[in-house]
């Protein structure tokens, strides 16, 4: 669970960095269309390099999206787990209280008295 809490700020920082670079990527692509529209050997090489960078950018954005979804799922599972643990702790406290309320048990009492007390205890704890 600690690992999840360490990952969340890292993810937020990473996504903020991606978001801050999106305008730059968009601007470079828009400018490149104007500048590289001339058919020269240099422009073709630059276009190929820009295409490769765009593919890498798309992979980074896709991976960031997957990472975000994975962390959201992990966070939901962590919250579900925490709720289950809290529910179980409450149940244990309730059972301890009920057991203490039934104590002390007189083991020398007749069997039918002990059986009746046991059935009453079973009903009270559900």
55-99 pLDDT, tens digit per residue, is: 999 999 999 889 888 888 888 888 888 899 999 999 899 888 888
Are the CB atoms for 23 and 41 separated by under 8 Å?
no
Two tokens at 24?
């730059």
Mean pLDDT value of segment 27-40: 79
d(CA 53, CA 46): 10
Angle, CA 36 vertex, CA 34 and CA 37 arms, to 5°: 70
d(CA 93, CA 89): 6
d(CA 61, CA 83): 33
């Amino acid at each position: 669970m600690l690992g999840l809490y360490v990952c969340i700020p890292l993810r937020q920082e990473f996504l903020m960095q991606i978001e801050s670079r999106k305008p730059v990527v968009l601007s470079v692509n828009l400018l490149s269309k104007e500048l590289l529209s001339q058919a020269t050997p240099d422009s073709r090489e630059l276009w190929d390099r820009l295409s490769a960078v765009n593919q890498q950018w798309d992979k980074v954005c896709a991976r960031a999206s997957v990472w975000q979804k994975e962390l959201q799922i992990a966070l939901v599972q962590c919250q579900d787990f925490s709720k289950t643990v809290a529910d179980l702790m409450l149940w244990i406290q309730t059972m301890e209280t009920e057991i203490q309320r039934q104590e002390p048990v007189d083991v020398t009492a007749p069997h039918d008295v002990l059986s009746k007390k046991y059935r009453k205890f079973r009903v009270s704890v559900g």
